[in-house]
Structure 1
Amino acid sequence: MGLWWRESNVSVISYSRHHIAVEVRSVEGVPLWAAIGMYGWPETENKYRTWDLMRSLKETINLPTVFFGDFNEITSMAEKEGGVDRREYLMDAFRGAIDDCGLRDLGFKGSIFTWQHGSIPGSTIRERLDRFLADEEWCTLFPQFNAWEDRPSMRVPTKIEHCAEKLRTWAWNTFGAVKRRIKKVEKELGEWKNGIPDAVMLEKFNTLV
Structure 2
Amino acid sequence: MLIDIFHDTVCPWCRIGNKHLFDALAQRQEKAVKIRWHPFLLDSKIPTRGYDFKTYLQQRKGIDSQRLQQLFEFTTQAGEASGVKLNFDKIRLAVNTIISHQLITLAPDSIKNDVVEAIYKAYFEDGLNTGNLDVIVAIGTAVGMDSTKLRHQLSSYAGFDTVLTESTFARLNGIISIPLYIINARVRVDGSHSVEVFHQALDRAALIEISAKIW
Q: So what's the TM-score if we normalise by structure 1?
A: 0.31
Larger radius of gyration: 1
If asked which structure has higher relative contact order (CA below 8 Å, sep 6+), I would say 2
Q: So what's the TM-score if we normalise by structure 2?
A: 0.30
